[in-house]
């Protein structure tokens, strides 16, 4: 149930987003809980919003605007496999905030981050819609300024550009507490192998959890990689 103030905020935010985007609202069940998430119908329709100057600077594509199989698979994994009550969690490259919202519903205290300020508006809406509380901040994984460390880190579909691989490993190293774990979901891209090699070179051990995502006739294999720091006993 929403208070009148929360309901009003939700309506105002939806109205503002609907004025700028063609929206899609989809429903999911993770674990035993129902969720609803707002996203953009066609992320490629947002390409015209990116100026040539911004693209040259960041090469940022509007991938945040859609909900991808890796995010759905990671969210299901979080709901069904992890105990999060009382843990401090960060999501990087959150997109519209699906994994963060599910983690918060399981009792985690969550900082949701993305490089896109547009994405963070959708994160706020989806948190309100699903009745959870999230801390929301912009984060550039190439230059992490967050001084906090976290019990767990989540990321879905972030291994799509070679130039990002080492910055992501470095960000994870900076953001995790000693003994913390990162869960990275990826649809078996070739770049994932290079990411795992870089992670091993930076003293992370990797455990892989293969999963299948099915939607109608579409089936995608998604690997969820758990990264933990290797313990040096010497």
> Is 185's pLDDT higher than 90?
yes
Count up the domains in the chain and report the number: 1
Give domain status of residue 75, yes or no.
yes
Residue 55, pLDDT > 60, answer: no
Domain residue limits at 193: 4-229
Task: Tell whether 13 is covered by a domain.
Answer: yes
Mean pLDDT lowest among 9-13, 62-66, 150-154, 172-176: 62-66
Q: Could you give the C-alpha distances from 211 to 35, 61, 71, 90, 94, in angstroms and in order?
A: 21, 26, 12, 22, 20
Residue range 115-146, pLDDT digits in tens: 999 999 999 999 999 999 999 999 999 999 99
Query: Is 217 a domain residue?
Result: yes
Tell me whether residue 123 is in a domain: yes
CATH (domain of 135): 3.40.50.150
**Does 234 fall in a domain?**
no
pLDDT range class, residue 1, cuts 50, 70, 90: very low
pLDDT at 233: 53
Q: Which helix (H) or strand (E) holds 150?
A: strand 150-156
Q: State if pTM tops 0.85.
A: yes
Residue 58 lies in a domain: yes
Q: Is the pLDDT of residue 232 over 70?
A: no
Residue 98 to residue 120: CA distance in whole angstroms: 12
Q: How far is CA 196 from CA 42, 52, 137, 189, in A?
A: 31, 32, 27, 12
Is the pLDDT confidence value at 56 over 50? no
């Amino acid at each position: 149930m929403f208070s009148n103030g929360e309901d009003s905020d939700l309506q105002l935010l939806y109205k503002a987003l609907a004025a700028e985007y063609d929206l899609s609202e989809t429903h999911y069940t993770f674990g035993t809980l129902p969720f609803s998430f707002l996203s953009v119908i066609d992320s490629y329709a947002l390409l015209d919003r990116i100026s040539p100057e911004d693209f040259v600077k960041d090469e940022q594509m509007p991938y945040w605007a859609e909900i991808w199989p890796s995010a759905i698979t990671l969210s299901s994994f979080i709901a069904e496999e992890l105990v999060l009550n009382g843990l401090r969690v960060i999501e990087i490259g959150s997109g519209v905030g699906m994994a963060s919202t599910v983690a918060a519903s399981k009792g985690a205290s969550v900082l949701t981050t993305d490089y896109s300020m547009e994405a963070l508006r959708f994160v706020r809406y989806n948190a309100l819609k699903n009745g959870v509380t999230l801390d929301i901040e912009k984060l550039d994984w190439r230059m992490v300024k967050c001084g906090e460390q976290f019990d767990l880190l989540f990321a879905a579909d972030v291994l799509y550009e070679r130039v990002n691989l080492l910055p992501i490993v470095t960000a994870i190293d900076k953001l995790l507490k000693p003994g913390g774990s990162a869960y990275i979901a990826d649809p078996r891209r070739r770049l994932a192998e290079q990411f795992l090699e870089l992670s091993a070179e930076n003293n992370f051990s990797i455990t892989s959890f293969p999963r299948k995502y099915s939607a109608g006739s579409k089936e995608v294999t998604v690997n969820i990689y758990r990264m933990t720091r290797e313990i040096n006993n010497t």
